[in-house]
């Protein structure tokens, strides 16, 4: 996330990269812990990759409307991931948050000014291993990455899940959304 943070900073935003113990806690516990690390005042924007995108929207929802800025999700499993369901056998190693990312219907995000970037770089044959149907980034389907984001606030790019936050196109799109509230 450092490359993305540098671009966000260069665009005039104050950046803050926060690490979190993703393999030790539930999503709710992670959000609780991250809330304590947020600045106590000012408007806050969020950019999060994968689980970080889920945490970003949950953090934004906890803020009052005056403090709530824009949210950019990059490859976030808003409707869960079939791969998470298959990996549930490894939840003791990968943590309780993984179990919460099984396929589901999502949640109401209408209060958020949120943009969603999804990847389409996975080969079709890879779906035999992951169980993910349709366009996807290798871990999250495009449908799930888009979640309930409205038209004009969704962007598909030919990137793979684990590299998307370092991709120049993704970084430029995230910064554009933070500035303008839509993708160019």
Average pLDDT for 65-69: 95
3-class DSSP assignment, residue 70: strand
Residue 18 lies in a domain: no
Residue-level pLDDT at 90: 58
Cβ pair 7, 171 in contact under 8 A: yes
Mean pLDDT of the chain: 89
Range of the structural domain that residue 79 is part of: 2-11+23-36+44-100+112-180
Give the tens place of pLDDT for each residue, 17-28.
Answer: 998 888 888 899
Q: How confident is the model at residue 87 (pLDDT cuts 50, 70, 90)?
A: low
Residue 45 backbone phi and psi in degrees, to 5: -105, 155
Residue-level pLDDT at 168: 98
Residue-level pLDDT at 142: 95
User: CA-CA distance, 70 to 86, in Å (whole number)?
Assistant: 32
User: CA-CA distance, 67 to 121, in Å (whole number)?
Assistant: 35
Residue 159 lies in a domain: yes
Residue-level pLDDT at 92: 58
Residue 93 lies in a domain: yes
* Number of domains within the chain: 1
Question: Higher-confidence residue: 131 or 60?
Answer: 60
| Whole-model pTM over 0.95 | no
Residue 106 lies in a domain: no
Give the tens place of pLDDT for each residue, 24-44.
Answer: 888 999 999 999 999 999 999
Residue 89 pLDDT exceeds 70: no
CATH code at position 28: 3.40.50.1820
Residue-level pLDDT at 125: 74
Percent of the chain past pLDDT 90, that is, above it, reads: 66
In the structure, how many helices (H) and strands (E) does the chain have?
9, 4
Residue 107 lies in a domain: no
Give the tens place of pLDDT for each residue, 130-183.
Answer: 778 889 999 999 999 999 999 889 999 999 999 999 999 999 999 999 999 999
């Amino acid at each position: 996330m450092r490359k993305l943070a540098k671009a966000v900073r260069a665009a005039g935003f104050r950046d803050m990269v926060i690490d979190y113990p993703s393999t030790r806690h539930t999503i709710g516990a992670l959000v609780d812990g991250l809330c304590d690390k947020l600045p106590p005042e000012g408007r806050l924007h969020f950019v999060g990759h994968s689980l970080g995108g889920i945490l970003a929207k949950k953090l934004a929802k906890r803020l009052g409307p005056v403090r709530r800025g824009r949210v950019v999700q990059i490859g976030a499993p808003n409707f869960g991931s079939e791969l998470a369901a298959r990996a549930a056998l490894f939840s003791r190693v990968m943590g309780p948050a993984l179990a919460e990312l099984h396929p589901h219907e999502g949640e109401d995000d209408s209060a958020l000014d949120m943009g969603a970037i999804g990847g389409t770089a996975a080969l079709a044959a890879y779906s035999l291993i992951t169980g993910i149907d349709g366009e996807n980034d290798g871990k999250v389907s495009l449908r799930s990455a888009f979640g309930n984001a409205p038209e004009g606030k969704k962007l598909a790019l030919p990137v793979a899940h684990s590299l998307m936050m370092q991709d120049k196109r993704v970084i430029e799109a995230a910064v554009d959304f933070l500035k303008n509230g839509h993708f160019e």
